[in-house]
Amino acid sequence: MEEDRESLDRVRHDGSHLVGRPLASVRPADPEDVVRLVAWARATRTPLVPRGAGTSLDGESTPADGAVVCDLSGWGRVLEVSADELWARVEPGVVNFDLQRHLAGDRLFFPPNPGSWTQATIGGNVGTNASGPRSFRYGSTRAWVREVRAVLGTGATVRLGTKAAKRSVGPDLLSMFVGSEGTLGIATEVTVRLAPVPAIRRGLVVPVPEGVRLGPLAGRLARTPGTGLSAVEYLDQGCASALASGRRSFGARGSAALLLEVEADDEPSATRRVDRVRASLREAGVPGALEEFPDSDELWTLRGESSVVLDERFGHRIREDVAVPLGRVDALLVEVERIARTEDVPLYLFAHLGEGSLHPNFVVDPTTPAAERIRAALLAAALGLDGTISAEHGVGRLKVPYLAAELGPEGIRLLHAVKRACDPDGLLNPGKLYPPG
């Protein structure tokens, strides 16, 4: 175990403002070590907190006081790739971006690409069911996991899923594990599905005039055939300006922007698809020139810098993550702006617009009563519009008080029943995901 200050300081916090006081940090050597660690934790009644890169934003990997952190960030090997069967078997500490680079020679990729993809691990992606810009076409991590090997809170090892491309064997236990935030078991190996890399993947930046309704705009793009769109992202004027001043300017200065990705098999097809996107935008009231990124990964890496730039400028703040049906996006935006005015705080917003997934950033100390009022009002607004309190960040510690409002009493009862079956002592990542009771 590591108990020196430097090692413990590194694992005391994640991407949120929360800070824990862990007893120690452990780096298991192999899955058998994880089994022994869980057995020791049960015998000593010591909480365990699985951890990858610590990029989670709602306290998922912030340790409970007195817990031992099970640090898997060093488990970074790609164990096996089947290019013919389109899967890769990896250790949970493999960084998302590194996996993409490893697969490039086979012209394959793992579609989920969260904003933190240059740091976030595959195990962390599984733990929070992460997604990212390309989820507009490809969906979230849950859709791309074939198999997980894990050590449950009972100490038993379990294999969930299979490498087969198709399966119908009762309720989907693998799907239940994805998004469980390390509260049911500690993943020791993950097999992910892969997709062929499109021959052309073109990034587009589109200035958005004031007054354009975003829900109908996203809906029009989603239903326009033949565009090859795999991502429909949005930066409000404040976010685009902050990114321009901190990193790079793109599009018209002083304007909100759409960030799009068009996939195609060849140049003529790409040109036709971009032309269809232009026509669809014009019909939605969005004229103007498009700035093109021949390598869309450059655009998504830049887009991922949005949070970093805001971190540098403002430090800790409320970084929220809600989603509503596309037809109610504009109603939610009205509520978001009203909340910011009521509390008199600056607002910066970016979104996975094509899925109605919004990330409002309220510049306020997240430890204050005002911050809790803002979070409560925002989550209530999302639920009131038939949405969700978390589109991709997870629940962690920060959203536990609001989960019952979305799941209801029977949903919470089922959640606790699963937890008791997999972790009867309640030692895995305590304080996260599960409301008391």
CA atoms within 13 A on the CB side of 387: 29
Q: Is 100 helix (H, G, I), strand (E, B) or coil?
A: helix
Q: Classify residue 437 by burial, with Cβ atoms within 10 Å: 0-12, 13-18, 19+.
A: exposed
**Pair 181, 149 in one domain:** yes
pLDDT at 298: 86
Predicted confidence at residue 301, as pLDDT, reads 83
Copy the structure tokens of residue 352.
């996975």
- Position 1 scores a pLDDT of 55
- Do 122 and 164 lie in one domain? The reply is yes
- Mean of the pLDDT values across residues 196-209? 94
Q: Are residues 240 and 341 in the same domain?
A: no
pLDDT digits (tens, 9 = 90+) for 262-318: 999 999 999 999 999 999 999 999 987 788 888 888 888 888 888 888 888 898 899
Higher pLDDT, 115 or 204: 204
* Eight-class DSSP state of 289: P
pLDDT band at 250 (very low <50, low <70, confident <90, very high): low
Half-sphere exposure of 254 (CA within 13 A, CB side): 0
State residue 253's pLDDT score.
62
Domain boundary among 41, 71, 101: 71
Task: Judge if 28 and 136 occupy the same domain.
Answer: no
Is residue 436 assigned to a domain? no
Using the CB atoms, write b or e for 177-209: b if 16+ within 10 Å: bbbbbbbbbbbbbbbbbbeeebebbbbbbbbbe
Any domain includes 434: no
Residues 182 and 228 in one domain: no
Cβ atoms 28, 364 nearer than 8 A: no
Q: Which of 278, 311, 344 is the last residue of a domain?
A: 311
In this prediction, what percent of the chain has a pLDDT beyond 90? 83
Whether residues 134 and 42 fall in one domain: no
Which of 274, 292, 311 corresponds to the end of one domain?
311
How far is the C-alpha of 132 from the C-alpha of 157, rounded, in Å?
30
> Are residues 373 and 306 part of one domain?
no
173 and 276 inside one domain: no
pLDDT at residue 2, as a whole number: 53
The count of residues in the chain is 437
User: What total number of domains does the chain contain?
Assistant: 4
Same domain, 179 and 208: no
- Bigger pLDDT: 9 vs 334: 334
CATH, residue 92 = 3.30.465.10
**Mean local confidence (pLDDT), 362-375:** 97
Q: Which domain holds residue 169?
A: 78-196
Residue 332's domain is classified under what CATH number? 3.30.70.2740
Distance of CA 11 to the CA centre of its chain: 20
DSSP bridge partners of 202: 262
Using CA atoms, how far residue 46 sits from 27, 62, 69, 357, in Å, is 16, 16, 10, 37
Over 60: is that where the pLDDT of 3 sits? no
Per-residue confidence (pLDDT) for residue 291, from 0 to 100: 87
Same domain membership, residue 190 and residue 106: yes
